[in-house]
Structure 1
Amino acid sequence: MDSGVEDGADERVRRSPRGWKTGLRAIAILCLAVSLAHVILLFLHVAPANTVSKRYSPLINAWVYPLFEQNWRLFAPDPESVNRQILVRTAHTGPDGSTRVSSWFDLTAVDTAAVEHQPFPSHTAQNMLRRAWAGYVDSHGGDDTAHTERALMMRTYLSNIAADRVAAHTGDPFEFIQLRVVTLPIAASGPAAGDRSRTPVENRRLPWWKVSGHAR
């Protein structure tokens, strides 16, 4: 009987490597399929509009936005001419029903501090907040009401970034956040000064948004 038990154990040992190989092969095939689908969807997103991209536009947009959005401003002939300062404040309702509103917290200053004097700055610190705001403006314009599914997604994306960052630095509980974006013009110099009009300073205050996961 002991011999039979040992034979069964030996058989399981011999089968284990086969099971591992099969599992690893399945994982490799899955990763390859996802990578291929990712490349195809990004290609359809950046390629000129065609029959396929129009037909599968909802699927393509759902995959690309907001994490894989493509942007070609690196090659733009007219670069950014303004500086934007993005600030956030929070509101917390206490057990007695009173609401406490925090002071403004400068999210842009945190990103700037993380980039300065860094030979290899984080892509997150450089672009995540800035691109989230650009996506919000592109989908909302001057109206802070989300009229499309993409606009709602970009609003949620922006609010989540702001909420997570202020929570990481303050540690205080809150249920609502409000963003304020101050746009400051960059003075042109040289011959371009006469060609480019100065953009007026903009101080845009967004509505209060309810966020989850930051109350205690």
Structure 2
Amino acid sequence: MRAATSAAVFLCLTTVLVHVLLVFLHVAPPNPLSQQYSRQVNAWVFPLFEQNWRLFAPDPESVNRQISARTTHTAPDGTVQVSGWFELTAVDSSAVKHNVFPSHTAQNMLRRAWSSYLEHHGGDDRPRSQRALMIQRYLTNIASERVAGRRGGSFEAIQLRVVTVPIAAPAPAGGTGVAAVAPGAADTRYLPWWKVEADSHGN
């Protein structure tokens, strides 16, 4: 029993040390060591442990995004059934509202996944790198798990719809209270249908 406990403690400490080292190499300025092991560092850090400096230089959101998902399921007779849209962002918002200690998952997971997707995909939604493909799968898994957790049932593919609404600029100090610049029109983006692995949503 003591040997098993010692082995578990050693394994935990080793994992923590490796994690700290890899994250340090990720956030440190480029150097020969981080460049030599960049593939291993990126494989460990992205997408779950990504770091940025917005804590020190905040970049406030200039838009509101509403992310929805719908799924398809093939019935025994071969017909394809398409579900209605499920509001993923609304679920996150309800989990955060009036919650003194909202979870990181409700606050940031979906939003950060979509931001990363925008950074690594063009307008045609084609992944052009392994990291882009990883982010796409990450976003797919988040949406699939949330739809399955709320609706249940099985499905083979999922599609996301993202409605982006610009936030109006605040009125100048001493003004009339009307926004200085009226918000632009909402933009709706439909992503491709993505296949879903059965084990990614618990089926």
State TM-score, norm by structure 1. Answer: 0.84
Q: Structure 2: any 5+ residue segments left out of the alignment?
A: 174-178
Task: Tell me if structure 1 keeps the 8 A contact 2:67–2:89.
Answer: yes
Is residue 40 of structure 1 aligned with residue 21 of structure 2? Answer: yes
Deviation at 1:76, TM superposition (A): 2.8
> Pick from 121, 124, 127: which aligns with 1:140?
121
1:6 maps to which residue? none
Task: Tell me if structure 1 keeps the 8 A contact 2:163–2:186.
Answer: yes
1:201 maps to which residue? 186
In the aligned structure 1, how far is the partner of 2:38 from the partner of 2:3? 36
Alignment of 1:91-110 (within 5 A): 91-110=72-91
Q: 1:171 to 1:78 in 2, by over 3 A?
A: closer
Q: Which has the higher helix share?
A: 1
Task: Tell me if structure 2 keeps the 8 A contact 1:175–1:215.
Answer: no
Letter in 2 for 1:150: R
Deviation at 1:146, TM superposition (A): 1.1
Deviation at 1:23, TM superposition (A): 2.1
* Secondary structure of the structure 2 residue equivalent to 1:73: coil
In the aligned structure 2, how far is the partner of 1:198 from the partner of 1:154? 30
1:189 maps to which residue? 170
The 4+ residue runs of structure 1 with deviation greater than 3 A are 191-194, 196-200
In the aligned structure 1, how far is the partner of 2:196 from the partner of 2:84? 18
2:111 maps to which residue? 130
State TM-score, norm by structure 2. Answer: 0.90
> Pick from 139, 143, 151: which aligns with 2:132?
151
Q: Structure 1: any 5+ residue segments left out of the alignment?
A: 1-19
In the aligned structure 2, how far is the partner of 1:171 from the partner of 1:81? 34
1:89 maps to which residue? 70
Letter in 1 for 2:10: I
Task: Tell me if structure 2 keeps the 8 A contact 1:174–1:215.
Answer: no
Deviation at 1:200, TM superposition (A): 4.4
In the aligned structure 2, how far is the partner of 1:201 from the partner of 1:189? 18
* Aligned residue-pair number: 196
In the aligned structure 1, how far is the partner of 2:89 from the partner of 2:60? 19
In the aligned structure 2, how far is the partner of 1:106 from the partner of 1:76? 31
Q: Equivalent pairs: percent with the same residue?
A: 61
